Amino acid sequence: MVRGSTVLHLKGAGGVSKALLDIIVCPLSKQPLRLCQETQYLISDEIGVSFPVVDGIPCLVPKDGRILDEKDNMRLDKSTKEPITDNNMNKG
């Protein structure tokens, strides 16, 4: 039982646990959110919006969402489905 609990509470740095990511969704599209490891933002890929995590508290109020622009390094590269970083930005 104790082993099970540890697995559920593995946290990404900044305090968003895997268990939480499984249950929360984008408040606008109701689709799952992706945690961007570098910036610790929660990304709603379907609509291209990011939500901040402040002091370990995910801020998922619709008006807190920030629209990702094309060059945003939190976007997914459409062909490889990997986050766009400085290294691969010009290839996508």
Partner 1 sequence: MAMRRSVATLIRNFRNVVPRSDLFLHSHATSFGFKEVREEEKSKLVGNVFSSVASSYDIMNDLMSGGLHRLWKHRLVSKLHPFPGMKHLDVAGGTGDVAFRILESIKSVRYRDVQGVLDGFGETQIYVCDINPNMLSVGKNRAIEKGLGDEQSLVWIEGDAEALSFNDLSMDGYTIAFGIRNVTHMEKALAEAYRVLKRGGRFLCLELSHVEAPLFKQIYDYYSFAVIPAMGELVAGDRESYQYLVESIRRFPNQETFAQMMADTGFEKVEYENLVGGVVAIHSGVKL
Task: Judge contact between 58 and 50, C-beta under 8 A.
Answer: no
> How far is 15 from 13, CA to CA, in rounded Å?
6
Rounded Cα distance, 76 and 92, in Å:
10
Greatest alpha-carbon span in the chain: 48
Contact between 92 and partner 1 by CB under 8 A: the answer reads no
Establish if 1 lies at the interface with partner 1 (CB under 8 A).
Answer: yes
**Minimal distance, residue 82 CB to partner 1, in Å:** 25
Q: Residue 58 Cβ, how far from partner 1 at the closest point, in Å? A: 5
Chain residues in the site for partner 1 (CB under 8 A):
1, 4-5, 8-9, 17, 19-20, 23-28, 30, 33, 54-62, 64
